[in-house]
Structure 1
């Protein structure tokens, strides 16, 4: 694409991107990747499905500079619907259930699971095989349980999802108008 976005077929597999999704200029989406309706992949994010598959659900956002990859032969990456992935996060060979939250600069490693409404704080590192149960906040390097999230905090995360869906629509229009 002339806008700097790379959607690359790799070994005969082309990313499947819903027409309602937004993929920002400068983002890289490679190989065996599916992106759902209303999802947004922001500037300079890299989603590399070269040695396994990556699934990103509807209305999920992958913010600027984040990297999503897989562990070949062991762990694909499955990201549910309504997931927030903060700027500069690294998500690798793991599962993020619907409404999971990964904070700015956080790392989710191989075989990890963040359950629905689970939250990994900014800058935290979830080491291989760990699981964040639903409704819990984990923080630190390595990440550990901090506390349960309030219903207000979980609702606030979902407001953030809705905001990113709308912002993605606005950016998609702006990119189209600038061509």
Structure 2
């Protein structure tokens, strides 16, 4: 079965839209109203589920193994719902959960981190492994955030800021290797 799944309804069909050079592992699921930017990658057992609202993922963003990306539907308790928007050059660590939030550009989401509805992570942020960003919280640019709830630990160094692009480039190279192997078989 393909990891890409369209959702049909009486008004329109919602199908994932892929940029150039996108890699989606066959053991992952990308469902519904999802857009993946150029050179992005979705790794094994990750779930990107835009079934009741939209998900937009920027270029050179990697969704690593076991990550769950979802939205909040519009309803009586939240008339607008919460889409999920992720910028460019973002690395989403293994088993992270992003739910109805906004993530800027050049962000590292640590392994097992959780980001909840309405939260905003600005550009150039590191969210530590296991951290929890509660609903509606904003993480300001340029800091490492740790804990539950996530709090700023310190400002990022220039070396750490350079790592954002390194990590994105590294996953682009890796997904290119996977795509080349898929074409050979």
* TM-score (norm: length of structure 2): 0.91
Which contiguous aligned blocks of 4+ residues in structure 1 show a shift greater than 6 angstroms?
none
Query: Distance in 1 between the 2:121 and 2:177 partners?
Result: 29
Show the counterpart of 2:44.
Answer: 43
Deviation track 1:47-91 (CA, whole Å, cap 9, x = no partner) reads 000010000001011001100000112210000111110111000
Q: Is the Cα contact below 8 Å between 1:24 and 1:172 reproduced in 2?
A: no
Q: Any gaps of 5 or more consecutive residues in structure 1?
A: none
Tell me the residue number matched to 1:171: 178
User: Which of 98, 112, 122 is the aligned partner of 2:105?
Assistant: 98
Once superposed, what is the RMSD of the aligned Cα atoms? 1.0
Query: Does the CA-based 8 Å contact 2:3-2:25 persist in structure 1?
Result: no
Aligned 8 A contact 2:89 2:164 in 1:
no
Cα distance, 1:101 vs. partner? 1.5
* Structure 2: gaps spanning 5 or more residues: 75-80
Number of corresponding residues: 175
**Aligned equivalents of 2:115 and 2:183: distance in 1?**
33
Shifted more, 60-69 versus 153-162: the winner is: 153-162
The whole-number CA distance in structure 1 between the counterparts of 2:144 and 2:114 is 14
Q: Which residues of 2 match residues 30-109 of structure 1 at below 5 A?
A: 30-73=31-74, 74-109=81-116
CA distance in 2 between partners of 1:10 and 1:93 (Å): 19
1:10 aligned residue (7, 21, 29): 7
1:160 counterpart SS class = helix
